[in-house]
Homo-oligomer: A and B are copies of this chain.
């Protein structure tokens, strides 16, 4: 066998000097923007020693960093190892998947710190960052990794960087609309990360449609060892997803609940994935691609509702359904998307993030609409949905409506943004 390395990187669609120039100039821009705008948040600043004595803080606030940090590291692993290795199942793009994912994520987190910070951590002309910003930046980049799955093997690293630039920006805007204007809950990002990321990527790949792209087994097929590498990605995503969905929830019961719900949903999802994978294959064999991907759909689909009182059996039901939907999608929907709609979805993100993301948004809306003071307790009810200030009078059913609106806004942003970026990328190819 010929040495297959570097193929993912060998594309001659970029000229020798373009990638270096883009990387260097953009990084210089980051330094300047960080220099002007970004400072340590109060709890990471050396002045904290005095401030905390003056403010007479309880140790809880002091400990916030320690309660968030392990989750941050788990999310970090999901973005770089999880998404990176998940995409190695294609034998031709193995190194490209990991390497380009590394590049876009490393750039993306810097840009996300600026964009999200601008909306959420801007004080007195400065963006103040702490561990929560790092988690949110990883989340934001997660949606770019999702979109990357649709266009893997089609684009040059420069095109990826351009996509990252735009997508992170739009992500921050969309997140601001959902969380701040619509006052929607979406701690695990079913809408903001998965729905947005998936339909954004699918729109881009639609615009970049190449009729003669080899979708043959030879190029897109997987080999034995690629499958094991991909399973590393799968398992790290699967194992750490409880951290993902609980990472930015309120301390205490909300975070605890989010972890349990996600754990349950993922466990159920594995069984229905295996069931349908075996059922829909000719010889009853299991398909590696389903096991690598559809087993994760349960985590996507409780992204919005995990921190709510979904209950363990509710989570099992969601995971049960999503394993089926996702596997069926891989078998029947993906080929149709390509042949009829000319959407070449390399990694099948529509099945892993698109549909489960939508389900997650809907489950979140229903769970919110069904919330009662009886189930949450008086204090818990207010805290869970943050019904304070100008939202004091919002009822669960209204909240459910706004949650549903959040799905549509995310979809709209994804289609519009994806079309824009796709056109941009298309122009770059000429």
Q: Are A232 and B81 in contact (CB under 8 A)?
A: yes
Known: A65-B256, A235-B84. A5 touches B224 (CB 8 A): yes
Bound CA span A388–B261, Å: 35
Check: A425 CB closer than 8 A to any chain B CB.
Answer: no
A15 at the interface (CB under 8 A from B): yes
A256 pairs with B20, CB closer than 8 A: no
What B residues does A266 contact at CB under 8 A?
A: 106
Q: Is A31 located at the chain interface by the 8 A CB criterion?
A: yes
Interface of A is mostly: helix
A181, CB-defined interface residue at 8 Å = no
- Separation in Å of the A42 CB from the closest CB of chain B? 8
Q: B231, A98: Cβ atoms under 8 Å?
A: yes
Name the residue on B nearest A64 (C-beta): B256
Q: Restricting to A142-193, which residues have a CB under 8 Å from any CB of B?
A: 157
Oligomeric state, in copies: 3
Cβ-neighbour of A74 out of B3, B39, B40, B73 (below 8 A): B73
Q: Which residues of B contact A19 (CB under 8 A)?
A: 274-275, 278, 284
**Contact between A134 and B271, CB atoms less than 8 A apart:** no
Give every chain B residue within 8 A of A24 (Cβ-Cβ): 271-272, 275
Place the interface of chain A in its size category. 35 or more
Chain B residues contacting A377 (CB-CB under 8 Å) are: 45-51
Contacts of A260 in B (CB 8 A): 40, 44, 129-131, 134
Known A5-B227, A129-B312; judge A109-B267 contact (CB<8 A): yes
A106 vs B134: C-alpha distance in the bound complex, in angstroms?
A: 31
Which residues of A (1-51) have their CB < 8 Å from a CB of B? 3-6, 9-10, 14-17, 19-21, 23-24, 26-28, 30-31, 34-35, 38-40, 43-51
Known: A95-B231, A107-B271. 20 other contacts (CB 8 A): A5-B222, A6-B285, A16-B278, A19-B275, A20-B275, A20-B276, A26-B271, A34-B312, A43-B256, A44-B257, A48-B253, A49-B252, A49-B383, A58-B59, A59-B59, A81-B239, A99-B291, A107-B267, A110-B268, A129-B260
Sort A-B residue pairs by CB-CB distance and give the 5 closest, nearest first: A46-B380, A106-B270, A23-B275, A16-B284, A34-B313
**Could you pull out 30 A-B pairs where Cβ atoms are within 8 angstroms?**
A5-B224, A5-B227, A14-B284, A16-B283, A17-B284, A24-B272, A27-B272, A31-B316, A38-B311, A38-B313, A40-B260, A45-B253, A45-B309, A45-B377, A46-B381, A49-B253, A49-B380, A65-B255, A69-B71, A73-B239, A81-B235, A84-B231, A88-B228, A95-B224, A102-B291, A103-B271, A106-B270, A110-B316, A134-B259, A228-B229
